[in-house]
Amino acid sequence: MNDILSPALSESDLAFESALRPTTLADFVGQDNVSKQLGLLLKAASLQNRAPDHILLAGPPGLGKTTLAMIVASEIGSGLRITSGPTIQHAGDLAAILSSLSAGEVLFIDEIHRMARPAEELLYLAMEDFRVDVMVGKGVGASSISLDLEPFTLVGATTRSGMLPNPLRDRFGYTANLEFYGHEDLATVLVRAAKQLALAAETPAIELIASRSRGTPRVANRLLRRVRDFALVDGAGVITAEVAKKALELYEVDSLGLDRLDKQILEALIVKFQGKPVGLSTLAVAIGEEPDTIESVVEPYLLREGLIQRTSKGRQATSLAYRHLGASESS
């Protein structure tokens, strides 16, 4: 996938987003219901002088899950420990992290659905009773030691909530399902970013970038940077709609925010498979891409825009996809 439209976080994004991240729920743009619900949960915990319930943040990449975890820690005035599911491959890895947490600290586990099963099972007891049972030694001489933990709040983030086992999902006191952003919210994100970066950008340019940002703030900020670079090289002092349009055309971002990989998928469904339903693995082989990339990165946006549909027999292009690519449905 074109890196500019990928919702995955790169190293350059990390530094850029760190400078732009809101630090309070009041400053967090979009996801209004989630913000209100989180605010209520945190305020109730504060009034009762206890750690907030464990929180699960679910949704496609780039919608603000990491930012919300940081805001949770900031709002309750607590420390934040950050790790990710793929790095926790053994129960001992998780036990070491949990036993080092201070009272009230927030533990953020990104991609929690990719955590190893033994670590998941250890987490059940830790979330419920704030203790872990650790096996010491091997063979017949092995024994179990129970370690008490300080009360903490776990914030888990996942792009594949369906992959979480029910016992783990049930232990979260609150689950937030993050949705793609509307154009108005994305425009607000871009105006805020442009202001912090001291960029002169006209409103039509902001609206154009927002309309092609795939409903994702991370993509919006990345497109703003590329348009800024184009304007800088082009000698334009102000980012106008014309400058933004030329920059986005250069990076092959079309009017719906589709890039080359999106179009490859749609063309494969329409031309190669003649509009018939196609299985995920077959589609992945046809375009030379990983099935997981298609399912978790590309497909959510195409489904949301009504360009493809899932059937019991596989993926299928919709009438809107045919019209967007200028193809005839009889082909």
- Supply the residues annotated as catalytic: 65-66, 110, 159, 218
From the CB of residue 312, how many other CB atoms can be counted at a distance below 10 Å?
5
Q: Please give the span between the terminal C-alpha atoms of the chain, in angstroms, as a whole number.
A: 26
Q: Reduced to 3 states, what is the DSSP secondary structure of residue 84?
A: strand
CB 123 within 8 Å of CB 75: no
- How many residues would you count in the chain? 331
Strand partners, 155: 55, 108
Token pair of 275 as six digits: 């509009």
| Cβ neighbours of residue 166 closer than 8 Å, sequence gap 6 or more | none
The pair phi, psi for residue 28, each rounded to 5°, is -75, 120
DSSP per-residue codes, 164-233: S-HHHHTT-SEEEE--PPPHHHHHHHHHHHHHHTT--B-HHHHHHHHHTSTT-HHHHHHHHHHHHHHHHH
CB 188 within 8 Å of CB 29: yes
> How many CA atoms does the CB half-sphere of 197 hold within 13 Å?
23
> How many CA atoms does the CB half-sphere of 330 hold within 13 Å?
0
Q: How far apart are CA 137 and CA 97, in angstroms?
A: 20
Cα–Cα nearest to 31, from 174, 166, 178? 178
Q: CA-CA-CA-CA torsion for 202, 203, 208, 211, nearest 10 degrees?
A: 150
